[in-house]
């Protein structure tokens, strides 16, 4: 039997058996997500084996494009999704708040922390720490920053050597990057000093994690800030020249939030697949792909990192999506960058 499968099978109540019968009649589940398809493949394969009459079709979609397709501002050109699963927690919260999700009280939710479930609509599936990543040949062991304050100090002390060698997300192009840095601001006023120190190095600003990790691995970048932790660990596992730090003062922990759209074409299959994602078996399969589980009955980021600061779901998340607030933050960021570019 697949690992953790017993807990999933124990939920085969009459209502669950009815759900399985309805799913077989629907025959398909369409999932849009922004996790790498290779990471999700074991989960999809296991579900397909358990439910041979139901085929999951997973499509990797950029989080911003996903949002635009759901609200109808961009034509998708693809079948409508049954599950929308994204690391852009603020966009997910806004979609749920704006009425694009349907309620479903998953029988698995009792194993999740309270903040992982919002209105029985949005479900935090993973618990992903946010990291600092560095090239071991370019950052000496004694220099590796263990806190945000130490990172600021390193950038100031080695500014000349690090010009053009620091990377982070471009908050104007990356929803995840914008989410992380605005969460930093909410935690500490010292974030502005850190952003100023980053800006003084004339940083490389990137929209996604992959080019950031590639640049660190090749030595084109010495250190990268606010990187999705699981992807950083996966890269470091195959490149011993890359180091990963989870800051000891606080480590943001993000989640990939899933919901079932209001007009899901295969609602029974969507509920069945969401249950599987949240089951012990599903969570362990995702963990093998280095996506840490959210369940409280499994070892996860919260227990491993005492300094973990989970990003809570709900309406507070999309406050920073207000156009005025977003423009104000990006204008301030541009000013900090300009000041850094002119620094001597």
Residues 165 and 305 in one domain: no
Q: pLDDT tier at 2 (50, 70, 90 boundaries)?
A: very low
Residues 264 and 120 in one domain: yes
Q: For residues 31 and 84, give the distance between their C-alpha atoms in angstroms, rounded to a whole number.
A: 6
Of the candidates 64, 111, 102, 65, the residue with the CA atom closest to the CA atom of residue 83: 102
* Cα→Cα distances 73→79, 97, 175, 196, 253, Å: 16, 18, 17, 35, 30
For 146, phi and psi rounded to 5 degrees? -100, -10
Residues 191 and 211 in one domain: yes
pLDDT in tens, 126-151: 999 999 999 999 999 999 999 999 99
Residue 221's pLDDT is 98
Residues 259 and 118 in one domain: yes
Kindly state the helix (H) or strand (E) to which residue 30 belongs, with its residue range.
Answer: strand 28-33
pLDDT(302) > 80: no
Residue 31's pLDDT is 97
Structural tokens at position 139: 């950052």
Q: pLDDT tier at 192 (50, 70, 90 boundaries)?
A: very high
Q: Which of 65-79, 169-183, 227-241, 246-260 has the lowest mean pLDDT?
A: 65-79
Residue 131's pLDDT is 97
Domain span at residue 90 reads 5-127+255-311
pLDDT(301) > 90: no
pLDDT in tens, 15-71: 778 888 888 889 999 999 999 899 899 999 999 999 999 999 999 998 888 999 999
Residue 82's pLDDT is 97
Q: pLDDT tier at 12 (50, 70, 90 boundaries)?
A: low
CB 168 within 8 A of CB 177: yes
Q: How far apart are the first and last CA of the chain?
A: 63
Q: List the CATH number of the domain containing 142.
A: 3.40.190.10
pLDDT(295) > 80: yes
Of the candidates 167, 157, 154, the residue with the CA atom closest to the CA atom of residue 221: 167
Residues 175 and 281 in one domain: no
Residues 201 and 238 in one domain: yes
Residues 113 and 71 in one domain: yes
**CA–CA–CA angle 311, 183, 37 (5° rounding):** 60
Task: For residues 272-289, give the mean pLDDT.
Answer: 94
pLDDT(9) > 70: no
Residue 141's pLDDT is 95
Residues 220 and 331 in one domain: yes
pLDDT(171) > 70: yes
Q: Which residues pair with 228 in a beta bridge?
A: 130
Residue 288's pLDDT is 87
Q: What is the pTM of this model?
A: 0.88
Q: pLDDT tier at 304 (50, 70, 90 boundaries)?
A: confident
Kindly state the helix (H) or strand (E) to which residue 128 belongs, with its residue range.
Answer: strand 128-135
When the pLDDT of each residue in the chain is averaged and rounded to a whole number, the result is 91
Residues 115 and 260 in one domain: yes
* Cα→Cα distances 68→34, 102, 222, 254, 295, Å: 14, 18, 35, 22, 30
Cα 15 versus chain centre, distance: 32
Tokens 């990939």 label which residue?
Answer: 256
* Cα→Cα distances 271→260, 285, 299, 301, Å: 8, 18, 25, 26
pLDDT(5) > 70: no
Q: pLDDT tier at 319 (50, 70, 90 boundaries)?
A: confident
CB environment 107-133: b (16+ within 10 A), e (fewer): bbbebbbeebbbeebbbbbbbbbbbbb
Structural tokens at position 27: 């025959």
Residues 142 and 240 in one domain: yes
CB 27 within 8 A of CB 54: yes
Residues 134 and 239 in one domain: yes
pLDDT(4) > 50: no
Residue 163's pLDDT is 97
Residues 167 and 294 in one domain: no
When divided into structural domains, the chain yields a total of 2
């Amino acid at each position: 039997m697949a690992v953790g499968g017993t807990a999933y099978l124990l939920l085969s109540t009459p209502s669950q058996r009815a759900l399985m019968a309805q799913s077989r009649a629907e025959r398909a589940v369409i999932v849009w997500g922004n996790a790498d398809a290779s990471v999700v493949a074991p989960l999809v394969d296991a579900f397909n084996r358990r439910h041979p009459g139901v085929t999951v079709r997973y499509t990797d979609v950029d989080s911003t494009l996903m949002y635009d397709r759901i609200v109808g501002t961009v034509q998708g050109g693809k079948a409508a999704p049954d599950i929308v699963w994204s690391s852009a927690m603020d966009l997910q919260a806004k979609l749920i708040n704006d009425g694009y999700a349907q309620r479903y009280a998953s029988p698995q939710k009792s194993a999740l922390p309270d903040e992982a479930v919002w209105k029985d609509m949005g479900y935090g599936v993973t618990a992903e720490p946010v990291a600092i990543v560095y090239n071991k040949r370019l950052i000496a062991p004694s220099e590796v920053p263990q806190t945000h304050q130490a990172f600021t100090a390193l950038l100031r002390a080695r500014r000349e050597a690090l010009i053009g060698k620091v990377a982070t997300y471009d908050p104007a192009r990356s929803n995840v990057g914008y989410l992380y840095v605005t969460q930093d601001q909410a935690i500490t006023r010292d974030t502005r000093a850190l952003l100023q120190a980053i800006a003084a190095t004339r940083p490389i600003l990137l929209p996604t994690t992959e080019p950031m990790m590639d640049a660190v691995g090749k030595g084109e970048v010495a250190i990268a800030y606010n990187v999705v932790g699981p992807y950083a660990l996966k890269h470091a596992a195959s490149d011993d020249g890359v180091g990963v730090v989870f800051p000891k003062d606080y480590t943001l922990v993000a989640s990939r939030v899933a919901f079932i759209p209001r007009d899901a074409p295969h609602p029974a299959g969507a509920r069945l697949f969401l249950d599987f994602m949240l089951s012990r078996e599903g969570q362990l399969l995702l963990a093998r792909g280095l996506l840490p589980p959210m369940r409280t009955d499994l070892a996860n980021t919260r227990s491993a990192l005492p300094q973990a600061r989970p990003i809570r779901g709900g309406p507070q998340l999309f406050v920073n999506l207000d156009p005025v607030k977003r423009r104000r933050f990006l204008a301030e960021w541009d000013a900090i960058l300009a000041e850094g570019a002119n620094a001597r």
